[in-house]
Chain A
Amino acid sequence: MRLHPNATFDCLLVARRLQAQGAVFTGPEIHLFAYLACLLWLYEKHIVTDWGYSFVGTGLGAPYSQEIDSALKELLGRGLFLRVHDRLRMTELAERKLDEFTNLEMNRERAECLNAACASIAAFSLGMVTSALSQEPELSRAKALPSSRLLLEEAAQSQLYIQFEALRSNLDQPTGDLRLPAVVWLSALYRSNSSTTLKS
């Protein structure tokens, strides 16, 4: 089976960042951070189809990509990832492959998005990132529906762009570094969820 180049690169890069934090990682975590990176790609005013693959939202409010899932299976099958009980670990071979891919100019901008997404775990636990992201407009809508639905279709992006515009206008001195909008947005999403809770 041919590896999807974008999904494969994303799996490898997110895996390295998560592994640096906790030695092992899970498939759902790769889907989660790849999706957050894709949202940051939109924040950077790129178009969603240029991300290279799509996501659906599950009824639990989690993102899922068929391409990421296939890439994970291929990486396992080719020995680049190892299964450790119900978790995954990168091998040295995967590290070398990632170094090769990272040097490619075509991956520079998506690497910035992926690195910024993964940097958020310096500020929050993985669980908090999951909870916060489930409040973003697309996943939040997916949760309300009984079946999985395609995320980030053009017509559904308006809510996201309102929030991104608010981020841009409130973050003075923009530097182009995506870590700042990522952690500010996740904090705001998490807070809005908590304040909903407190209103009861």
Chain B
Amino acid sequence: MNIVDSIKVVCRDSHFPMAQQVFGLAGLDAIFRVMETVQELYRHVDLERISGDVLVFKVVTPPTNLGVAPDVSRPVDFASLANQNIDSLCFEIEADGRPHARSLGSTTREEIAKTAIVYHCAGWLEEFLAGDRRKAVMRLDTSTRSQFSVPTFGTVREALLHFARDNVRESTCYIFRNIWHDQNRLFLKAGPESLIRDSLTQFLRNRLGAEHDVLPEQNVNEKNPVDIRVQPRLQNNRLMIIEIKWLGNSVATDGHVTARHRDSKAQEGADQLAAYLDGQRQSAPSHVIQGYYVIIDARRRNLPAAATAGATIARADGFHYEAQVIAFAPAPHTTRQDFDEPYRMFASPVCSD
């Protein structure tokens, strides 16, 4: 879809214009304040821990029943909710701009929306209500439960598992898919490392970017740079190092094979990451460091000696290595706590059968 068409769709389907259409500039102010509050809430509370609904609203047009007692509640500190198991949450953003807990009783969110911008989340559904209108939140990142909790993915570990499933498996990421020499994803281009690194960097920034710095190709010793370094902004003594290697056959533009990476290459990466971690422990002893080893597995069985136009592969050969575990010796992930079990990510081919 081109961008002009995309603009039409966003104007028609997203919640942003609705706020202004219903309540004018005050509606726009309110929806931005509500979004900021929801983001702040999800920074402190994991959505997975909320079993019920989340409602956050800001009144735009004061209701006429002025007999309501003035609010004397104290604003809520979201940090205090961090480790609680929560059923449902409801907050009103008061005139002071801060959230106050509310109990709605029998009042429905539709009734509140007559004079307010209302955010409502239940399971995977997120929506905004304004006046008598409602719009589901346009999900730009399909792998997260809330558009507003995108930056608060639990851990690098979890993010890597999503990267394997969402980006690598079917080469869906537009950067990652450029690693292939051919449409059937049999051969890699020569030197695909930087594309793989860029793809993972972008993925991690989208998910962890608000609270983590995701820095590609960082020098950790005098020999080689590590592929990606991830550092939480608010915990400066934590450091996560990601090393990436690939397995498979790479070819030059004329189709001749430039490299065949197999198990020994995987071992090389494990040894390299273990050495990085040792080096970091010596140079930054106060840091808590964790190593993550990502192996992009593009191995295929019975590949031709060179890549030819339109080459295909049978499913049995294309997926032969899918379930084959790499035996590491030494295996640093079994002997040290700072080395996660390697993340072998199989990148599937397009098969002829």
Contacts and interface: CB of A to CB of B under 8 A. Distances in A.
A195 interface: yes
B221 interface: no
A139 to B, nearest CB: 13
A77 to B, nearest CB: 23
B140 A128 contact: yes
Contacts of A163: 3-4, 7
Contact of B10 (A21, A188, A200): A188
Interface residues of A, number: 47
A125 B233 contact: no
Interface string B23-42: 01100100010011001000
Interface in A157-200: 162-163, 166-167, 170-173, 175, 177, 179-180, 183-185, 187-198, 200
A106 interface: no
Instruction: Say whether chain B's binding surface is mostly helix, strand, loop, or mixed.
Output: helix
Contact of B209 (A123, A126, A192, A196): A126
B82 interface: no
A193 B174 contact: yes
A95 to B, nearest CB: 19
B312 interface: no
B11 A184 contact: yes
A197 B6 contact: no
Contacts of A86: 213
Contacts of B202: 127, 131
A180 B6 CA distance: 15
A173 B24 CA distance: 8
Nearest to A189: B3
Interface string A124-164: 11111011000100000000000000000000000000110
Nearest to B208: A127
A141 B25 CA distance: 35
Given A22-B233, A163-B7, A200 B205 contact: no
Contact of B25 (A87, A122, A177): A177
Contacts of B150: 124-125, 127-128
Nearest to A130: B205
Contacts of B4: 162-163, 166
Nearest to B150: A125
A109 B212 CA distance: 33
Interface string B187-210: 000000000000000100111111
B130 to A, nearest CB: 13
A127 B233 contact: no
Given A175-B20, A184-B14, A125 B210 contact: yes
A190 B140 contact: yes
Contacts of A175: 20, 24-25, 28
A22 B12 CA distance: 32
A192 B206 contact: no
Closest 7 CB pairs of A and B: A127-B209, A127-B205, A188-B6, A170-B11, A125-B151, A122-B35, A127-B206
Interface of B: 1-4, 6-12, 14, 16-17, 20-21, 24-25, 28, 32, 35-36, 39, 138, 140-141, 147, 150-151, 171-174, 177, 202, 205-211, 213-214, 233-234, 236
Interface of A: 21-24, 26, 85-87, 119, 122-128, 130-131, 135, 162-163, 166-167, 170-173, 175, 177, 179-180, 183-185, 187-198, 200
Given A127-B151, A131-B205, A187-B10, 8 more contacts: A87-B233, A123-B147, A125-B151, A125-B209, A128-B209, A131-B206, A180-B28, A197-B173
